[in-house]
Structure 1
């Protein structure tokens, strides 16, 4: 399968404004690219790339005063298979977790485990360990939150999403991640492209998507609490503890979003 993906994002800046960008695909997908995944800017300004502590490709630039547009348009190969299902994947004891994984058991900005721990053990303490327990968490988060773009709020935590019962894809991910961490299952936040491939097309404008991964059986596995079904054509851009670590853009000064378009479509 071949997928065309990309974006066009514009900001209006009243003064020169430093920015961090997280708009490239993850290094493990770089070999699948048929055309370069390059950040282009208008006007042209230098973009310096670096690797953050989570292994994400990040960019830095200084946007000049006025309007700046960021864009990319690339083609990537995909196996065309739905998210792999591994129900036999086992849950590891905390003491057996690798050092680079154990940090995904800790609370973070949007994953307030201290407020959901009692609920997690009351609700899932009797479920089988491993894959079945994670799926029970996903089923719960999927049913608990009502999706709606009008419910989007950048400051909403997992506990608030649970209590308010509404949100967008990041809120589903934060709630499921938090409940998994409460149950000693390492979980990390993911962001990337997810087009309407293999499912009915949505009338809503295309956007970047959020899902999560858990560490079972010695590797990371993908789950999606919003859709709660294996999907085709995920293109991973970044991972982190929660949405704080994978913000598409971060600006250090006033910058008003004036245009936003994302494309993800299957090619012949």
Structure 2
């Protein structure tokens, strides 16, 4: 299937402001892009890309004083398959984990494992390790937190999300990631596009989504504690330890958000007969 995705974002800066943006599709999905994928700026400013320590594409700019608009609109090919499941996937002993996975066992800015370790072992220590244990963590997180856009708070940690029992998709991901790490399961935070494909349309405005991945049986698998069922059409933009590593914009100075619109939906091709009929009506 083909998916249209993109965004229209605007900031107001009160002086020249350096910014770091994570608004590109992740390198692992770049080969699926159809045509052009370009971040556009108005007014036009010099931009330079680099790859960060987690393998994400970052874009550096210096925004001028005043309003700056940042946009993208592209097509990407997708398998159309839901997230892969592997109920038999096993949890590897720490000694067998690759070096690169070890960082995803540690606490981080929003995944305060030290405050959740006792809880995690009391809840999940008796559950079979591997996929079954991860799914139990996802189920628990899904039921523990009530979703609501009005519950958004940009400094809420996993432990706070657990105690407050409210949040947005990033809070679900942070809690599940932290609980997995407490159980010695490497887990990393992901952000990107997730449209309403194969599910009822959500009337709320589209936003970037957050989910997480765990390392089982020698590879990474996708889990989503907010939705808690396999979804179609995820387009990953960035991965990291938590939301602090994958902020879509980091400004080194005041940058007031003026506009935020995210686009992601399946592109359905019109049958040839319908296209011909539409053209004849225009003529």
Alpha-carbon shift at residue 87 of structure 1 (Å):
0.9
Alpha-carbon shift at residue 140 of structure 1 (Å):
0.2
Q: Which residue pairs with 1:157 in the alignment?
A: 157
Q: Which residue pairs with 1:52 in the alignment?
A: 52
Q: What's the secondary structure of 1:50's corresponding residue? A: strand
Structure number with larger C-alpha Rg: 2
Alpha-carbon shift at residue 13 of structure 1 (Å):
0.4
Deviations 1:143-190 (A, max 9, x none): 000000111000000000000000000000000000000000000000
Q: Using the alignment, how far apart are the partners of 1:35 and 1:151 within structure 2?
A: 38
Q: Using the alignment, how far apart are the partners of 1:201 and 1:153 within structure 2?
A: 25
Q: What's the secondary structure of 1:92's corresponding residue? A: coil
Count residues with an aligned counterpart: 268
Alpha-carbon shift at residue 115 of structure 1 (Å):
0.3
Q: Which residue pairs with 1:8 in the alignment?
A: 8
Please give the TM-score of this superposition, normalised by the length of structure 2.
0.94
Structure 1 residue runs of 4+, over 2 Å off?
Answer: none
- C-alpha RMSD of matched pairs (Å): 0.4
Q: Using the alignment, how far apart are the partners of 1:109 and 1:257 within structure 2?
A: 23
Alpha-carbon shift at residue 198 of structure 1 (Å):
0.2
Q: Which residue pairs with 2:104 in the alignment?
A: 104
Unaligned runs of 5+ in 2: 269-283
Equivalences for residues 119-268 of structure 1 within 5 A:
119-268=119-268
Alpha-carbon shift at residue 96 of structure 1 (Å):
1.1
Deviations 1:44-101 (A, max 9, x none): 0011000000000000000000000000000000000000001111100011111000
Unaligned runs of 5+ in 1: none
Q: What's the secondary structure of 1:176's corresponding residue? A: helix
Q: Which residue pairs with 1:72 in the alignment?
A: 72
Q: Using the alignment, how far apart are the partners of 1:36 and 1:51 within structure 2?
A: 19
